[in-house]
Amino acid sequence: MSSMPVLKNAPDEGRTLSFLSGNLAQVDVAKIERELNRLWDSAGRAAGEEDLAWKPVIRACALNMVLLCEEENERKFEGLLSEITVRHPCRAILAVIASAPVEKVEAWVTAHCHFLPGRLDKQMCCEQITVKWSGTAFVSTGLASVVTPLVIPELPSWLFAGSKQLTRAVIEPFLSYLDHLLMDSRISGAADGKINKELVISLISNLQIAMDLAEHAVVVDLAWLTLSAWRKAIALAFDHTDVSILPARLQAIETITIKYGGYAAGFSQALLLATWLTTRLKLRADSGQVSQNQTNSASKSGLTALFKSESGSQSVNVILHEADNLSAGVNSFEMTFGDGDDKLNVDFAGGALKVSNDGSEEYMELPWSSTRDKEGAGEPAFTELVDFAFEHSAKDPIYLAAAKGAGDLLKLISQGSK
**Under the rule (CB under 8 A), what is the footprint of another protein?**
1, 4, 58, 60, 62, 86-89, 116-117, 124, 228, 231-232, 234-236, 238-242, 247-248, 250, 277, 280-281, 350-352, 362-365, 367, 369, 372-373, 387, 391, 396-399
Nearest to another protein of 77, 238 (CB atom) = 238
Determine whether 118 is exposed, middle or buried from the number of CB atoms within 10 Å of its CB (0-12, 13-18, 19+): exposed
Minimum CB separation from another protein for residue 85, in Å?
Answer: 8
**Under 8 Å CB-to-CB from 257, ≥6 apart: which residues?**
319, 321, 333, 334, 335
Nearest to another protein of 203, 402 (CB atom) = 402
Question: Which conformational region is residue 63 in: left (phi greater than 0), alpha (psi within -120 to 50 degrees), or beta?
Answer: beta
The residue among 53, 21, 16, 7 whose CA lies nearest residue 36 is: 16
Nearest to another protein of 239, 324 (CB atom) = 239
Minimum CB separation from another protein for residue 320, in Å?
Answer: 19
CA distance 389 to 65: 12
Nearest to another protein of 247, 416 (CB atom) = 247
Minimum CB separation from another protein for residue 335, in Å?
Answer: 11
CA distance 93 to 186: 24
3-state secondary structure 281-300: CCEEEEEEEEEEEECCCCEE
Minimum CB separation from another protein for residue 373, in Å?
Answer: 4
Nearest to another protein of 235, 319 (CB atom) = 235
Nearest to another protein of 10, 137 (CB atom) = 10
Nearest to another protein of 194, 232 (CB atom) = 232
Minimum CB separation from another protein for residue 253, in Å?
Answer: 11
Q: Residue 77: phi, psi to the nearest 5?
A: -75, -25
CA distance 303 to 267: 9
CA distance 255 to 307: 10
Nearest to another protein of 53, 116 (CB atom) = 116
Nearest to another protein of 4, 191 (CB atom) = 4
Minimum CB separation from another protein for residue 52, in Å?
Answer: 20
The residue among 187, 257, 173, 177 whose CA lies nearest residue 222 is: 187
Minimum CB separation from another protein for residue 141, in Å?
Answer: 33
CA distance 224 to 163: 18
**Under 8 Å CB-to-CB from 50, ≥6 apart: which residues?**
none
Torsion of CA 408, 173, 94, 227, to 10 degrees: 20
Minimum CB separation from another protein for residue 87, in Å?
Answer: 3
Nearest to another protein of 312, 397 (CB atom) = 397
The beta-strand segments (E) located in 201-327 are 218-221, 253-261, 283-294, 299-309, 315-322
108 in Cβ contact with 81 (< 8 Å):
no
Element (H, E) at 230: helix 228-237
Minimum CB separation from another protein for residue 190, in Å?
Answer: 34
Minimum CB separation from another protein for residue 53, in Å?
Answer: 22
Please give the full DSSP string across 158-211, using - where no structure is assigned. EEEE-SS---HHHHHHHHTT-SEEEE-------TT----HHHHHHHHHHHHHHH
Nearest to another protein of 263, 307 (CB atom) = 307
CA triple 287-288-293, angle to 5 deg: 155
Minimum CB separation from another protein for residue 354, in Å?
Answer: 10
